[in-house]
Amino acid sequence: MDILGSSSKSSLVTSITEEIKDREPPKKVHDPGGVWKCCHCRLEEHYDYKGNKPPFAKHLSFSEDCYIMKDPFSSLNRGEILILGGDCSICNRSVCLECSLFYAKRFCKACAFENSRYFPSEVQKKIHVLNKENKADE
């Protein structure tokens, strides 16, 4: 087996990285939507639409504005979507479904915890579960 000398190998790597650096990023054809990030778990995702009536899934409407992503695993015509999360109605920060709960409005777990006395007892239980799960990394 013919093995390249280390000097020629490293110059090959350098010329490839130079080439990539100079190349322009490919232009996107449609509106990229934006980047959505959960303020609690730092989940970051590209979203295609924010609102309660996604134009690519006309049969659906939601009682809140959510960040919606077209399901990359389904064909466009079927209009399948993924809901990433929404905005907390108290602090206005974006949160994923796992870090928030929906009770008439969306509440992030921190705001829900602070205001838990205003929620009915079965919702309070959920709030405590939500906040317990993340205690470990604080």
Least Å from the CB of residue 108 to Zn ion:
3
Q: Return the number of the residue (57 or 91) whose C-beta is nearest Zn ion.
A: 91
User: Can you tell me whether residue 132 is helix, strand or coil?
Assistant: helix
- Closer to Zn ion by CB, 18 or 133: give it: 133
What is the binding site for Zn ion (CB under 5 A)?
Answer: 38, 40-41, 43, 88, 90-91, 96, 99, 108, 111
- Of 96 and 101, the one with the shorter C-beta distance to Zn ion is 96
Q: Kindly state the smallest distance separating residue 38's Cβ from Zn ion, in Å.
A: 3
Q: Which residue has the tokens 């350098």?
A: 14
Smallest gap from residue 78 Cβ to Zn ion (A): 27
Residue closer to Zn ion, measured from CB, 81 or 127? 127
Dihedral, 85, 88, 93, 96 alpha carbons, nearest 10: -20
Burial class of residue 7 (count of CB atoms within 10 Å of its CB; 0-12, 13-18, 19+): exposed
* Distance between CA atoms of residues 90 and 122, nearest Å: 20
- Least Cβ distance, residue 115 to Zn ion (angstroms): 9
- Mapped onto helix, strand or coil, the DSSP state of residue 125 is helix
